[in-house]
Amino acid sequence: LGKVNVARVDGAVASMTQEQLEWERDRAEGEWRR
């Protein structure tokens, strides 16, 4: 049970990090175009 909970948390963190990376990249590209 503990391993399943850890895997779920890791997955949530990974997807959140991926969203943050994409958001930061889009923002950086927008600033570079200015």
CA angle centred on 21, ends 23 and 30, rounded to 5°: 40
Query: Helices then strands (H, E): number in the chain?
Result: 1, 0
Q: What pLDDT is recorded for position 1?
A: 59
Q: Where are the domains of the chain?
A: 1-29
In Å, what is the CA distance from 12 to each residue of 5, 18, 19? Answer: 11, 10, 11
- Chunked mean pLDDT (size 10), the chain, 34 residues: 77 86 92 77
CA distance 22 to 30: 12
CA distance 18 to 23: 9
Predicted TM-score (pTM) of this structure: 0.50
